[in-house]
Every structure is written in C-alpha cells, then in structure tokens.
C-alpha cells in the first residue's frame, strides 16, 4: 500500500478476516460483518523519534470513538492493545499494528492497521492469550459500525494534524495505559532475557520504563508485555 503511490489518507476496509496479522505474527480472525478492520496510509515526514506517536494517536482515537458511539470506557495496554476492565485481567477487544519506513532518520511512510471486535457474540469470540471480548458483549447491545468508523477517522485526522504540528500525544496516552503502576514481564522480541519489574512510566517517545528488582530503570522499545501479581 505505501509503496504503490497511493495518496496519504487512503483507507482500506475489510468485512471479515481469516488471515489477519497481529504483533509477533499472531493471527486475528473476525467473522463477516462483525468488526471494524481497516488500514490507513500515512506519509508523516516526522523525525524518527516520533514514529511511536502514530501508534499512540491511533490507540487514543479508538478509545475516544468507542466512548462516543458505544458509551464504553476503554484503556490501552502498552504497546498496542485496546482493553476494557477496571483491574486485571483486562479483556481485549482490539488492537493497533504499525508498519513504517525510515529514510535518512525521517519517518517517511507508514500503514496503521486497526482491528476492533464490534458485534461478536461470546460464543464467536476466539480463544486468545488475553481474554477476548467485543463491544457488543460489554455494552449489552449491537453497536453500529459505520458511525464508529466515521467517528474514528474524524478523531484520527484531528490527532494526526496536531501531531504533525509537533503536539505530543504523550499526556493522554500515558493516562490511558493500564500498564503504569503494575508489575509486568517484558518478553523482548530480539530474544534477550525477559525483564520483570514495575512499569513506572513511558518516556517522550512512548517507550515503556520498567524498574527492575535491582532498582535499575529499563527502557523497553519493543516487547510483549504481560501484567502479573
């Protein structure tokens, strides 16, 4: 999509998903006409250290749109899960995936994929490592998908314009994260030893800060993070 000359702002939607890809190559399945499944093309030309901002505003746009249309208060689990619940274990109803390209330390193009379980019954929900749910299950009613999509795109456009003016989404993103203040285990994608400790904050570029048992502050750029204890 990004290398085929498509204009910035292009959106591709799917009505079902049988071979969807999540983080770490995980599969994401969705029955026909049940979910919001779409990808968006951006050509931000941002400094490389702002690349994570795109993931941040995509997640924030999702929980804001869901609040407006479904009346549900959702949170984000670092780095890309959309979850619901006041305390662990949180229930996952969606996620965001970012794939981008750098040119000379500039974040030149990116595709952001968003998947949200909207009208999926409990019986249809997949077995996942994180307990799965849907907006319908949580709200107790069917949620109209088109208004949800239109609200999302309008919010995302506004947030993208703000980020392009160097307005950081960090404050809102930090407050939306369920990880902060929790004991976590970070499985590093490069195969390094896992890091365990207290998730204390995120830095200006969106990296997770974990204080390990020795008191050392570890900076996590990419990892599969679980909450325990």
User: What would the DSSP string read from start to end of 83-135?
Assistant: EE-SSSSPEEEEEEEEEEEEETTEEEEEEEEEEEE-S--GGGPPP-SSPB--H
* 216 within some domain: yes
Q: What's the whole-number mean pLDDT along residues 183-192?
A: 83
**How many other β-carbons are positioned within 10 Å of the β-carbon of residue 80?**
19
Query: Does residue 116 surpass a pLDDT of 90?
Result: yes
**Among 133, 160, 176, where does a domain finish?**
176
* 4 within some domain: no
Q: Which of 61-75, 114-128, 133-147 has the lowest mean pLDDT?
A: 114-128
* 93 within some domain: yes
Query: How many domains does the structure of the chain reveal?
Result: 2
Residues 86 and 199 grouped into a single domain: no
Looking at per-residue pLDDT, the higher value among 53 and 16 belongs to: 53
Q: How far apart are CA 171 and CA 151, in angstroms?
A: 22
In which band, very low, low, confident or very high, does the pLDDT at 60 lie, cut at 50, 70 and 90? very high
pLDDT at 81: 94
Token pair belonging to 143: 């949620």
pLDDT at 24: 47
Residues 208 and 137 grouped into a single domain: no
34 closest CA partner among 14, 11, 5: 14
Q: What's the whole-number mean pLDDT along residues 103-113?
A: 93
CATH number of domain containing 90: 3.30.930.10
* 79 within some domain: yes
Q: How far apart are CA 111 and CA 97, in angstroms?
A: 8
Q: How far apart are CA 23 and CA 56, in angstroms?
A: 15
pLDDT at 6: 87
C-alpha radius of gyration, the chain, whole number: 17
Give the range with max mean pLDDT: 32-46, 126-140, 186-200: 32-46
**How many other β-carbons are positioned within 10 Å of the β-carbon of residue 205?**
17
Residues 124 and 197 grouped into a single domain: no
Residues 61 and 170 grouped into a single domain: yes
Looking at per-residue pLDDT, the higher value among 95 and 19 belongs to: 95
Residues 108 and 128 grouped into a single domain: yes
Q: How far apart are the first and last CA of the chain?
A: 42
Looking at per-residue pLDDT, the higher value among 22 and 189 belongs to: 189
Residues 102 and 170 grouped into a single domain: yes
* 6 within some domain: no
Looking at per-residue pLDDT, the higher value among 132 and 227 belongs to: 132
Residues 141 and 209 grouped into a single domain: no
Query: Does residue 126 surpass a pLDDT of 80?
Result: no
Q: Which domain holds residue 218?
A: 183-227
pLDDT at 208: 96
Q: Which of 22-26, 46-50, 89-93 has the lowest mean pLDDT?
A: 22-26
What mean pLDDT value characterizes the chain? 90
Give CA 13 to chain center in angstroms: 17
Q: What's the whole-number mean pLDDT along residues 87-110?
A: 91
* 97 within some domain: yes
Residues 118 and 96 grouped into a single domain: yes
Q: How far apart are CA 116 and CA 95, in angstroms?
A: 7
CATH number of domain containing 221: 2.30.30.100
Residues 91 and 189 grouped into a single domain: no
């Amino acid at each position: 999509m990004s290398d085929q000359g498509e204009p910035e702002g292009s959106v591709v939607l799917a009505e079902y998903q049988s071979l969807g890809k999540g983080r770490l190559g995980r599969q994401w399945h969705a029955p026909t006409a049940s979910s919001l499944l779409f990808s968006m093309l951006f050509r931000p030309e941002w400094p490389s250290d702002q690349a994570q901002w795109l993931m941040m505003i995509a997640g924030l746009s999702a929980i804001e749109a869901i609040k407006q249309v479904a009346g549900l208060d959702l949170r984000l689990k670092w780095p890309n899960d959309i979850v619901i619940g006041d305390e662990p274990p949180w229930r996952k109803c969606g996620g965001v995936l970012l794939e981008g390209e750098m040119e000379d330390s500039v974040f030149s193009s990116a595709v952001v994929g968003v998947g949200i379980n909207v009208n999926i019954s409990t019986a249809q929900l997949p077995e996942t490592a994180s307990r799965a749910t849907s907006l319908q299950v949580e709200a107790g009613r069917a949620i109209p998908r088109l208004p949800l999509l239109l609200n999302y795109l309008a919010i995302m456009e506004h947030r993208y314009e703000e980020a392009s003016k160097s307005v950081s989404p960090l404050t809102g993103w930090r407050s939306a994260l369920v990880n902060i203040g929790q004991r976590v285990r970070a499985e590093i994608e490069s195969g390094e030893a896992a890091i365990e400790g207290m998730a204390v904050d995120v830095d200006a570029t969106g990296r997770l800060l974990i204080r390990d048992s020795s008191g050392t502050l570890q900076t996590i750029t990419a990892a599969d993070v679980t909450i325990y204890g």
